[in-house]
């Protein structure tokens, strides 16, 4: 059975699917970029937990649901920026360890 795309006639919908073990790279990404990204996200979560532990309860964002929401949003973004370049070095260490296995 042949499938045709009426919206994009130049697209071949009848090509074989990629095998489970075959790595498909997105444009501009090296093969290890996904692992490095996940390691950086993990480091950001750990940094966020450390920031939550030292953050005072009566903060700049006020009390109540909105204050808690904005405080958690702020801490999540701050942790992501801290973990970005170069971070604590934990993401790079995790990446190297998992890359060799």
Give residue-wise pLDDT tens across range 4-41. Answer: 555 555 555 566 655 554 444 444 455 667 888 898 99
Angstrom CA distances, 11 to 16, 18, 23, 34, stand at 13, 16, 21, 27
Q: In the predicted model, what is the mean pLDDT of the chain?
A: 76
Q: What's the total number of domains in the chain?
A: 1
Instruction: Please indicate, yes or no, if residue 17 is contained in any of the structural domains.
Output: no
The reported pLDDT for the residue numbered 24 is: 47
> Is 96 domain-assigned?
yes
What number is the average pLDDT over the span 71-88?
86
Whether 19 is in a domain gets the answer no
Angle (nearest 5°) at CA 49 between 32 and 58: 145
Residue 93: inside a domain: yes
pLDDT confidence of residue 19: 53
Number of helices (H) and strands (E), helices first, in the chain? 3, 0
Domain of 81 in residue numbering reads as: 33-100
Q: Is the pTM of this model over 0.85?
A: no
Q: Give domain status of residue 9, yes or no.
A: no
> Does 66 fall in a domain?
yes
């Amino acid at each position: 059975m042949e499938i045709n795309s009426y919206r994009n006639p130049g697209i071949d919908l009848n090509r074989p699917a990629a095998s489970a073990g075959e790595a498909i790279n997105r444009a501009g990404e090296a093969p290890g970029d996904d692992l490095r990204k996940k390691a950086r996200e993990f480091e950001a979560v750990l940094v966020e937990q450390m920031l939550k532990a030292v953050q005072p309860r009566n903060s700049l964002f006020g009390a109540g649901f909105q204050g808690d929401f904005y405080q958690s949003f702020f801490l999540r973004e701050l942790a992501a920026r801290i973990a970005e370049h170069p971070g604590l070095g934990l993401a790079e260490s995790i990446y190297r360890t998992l890359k060799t296995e």
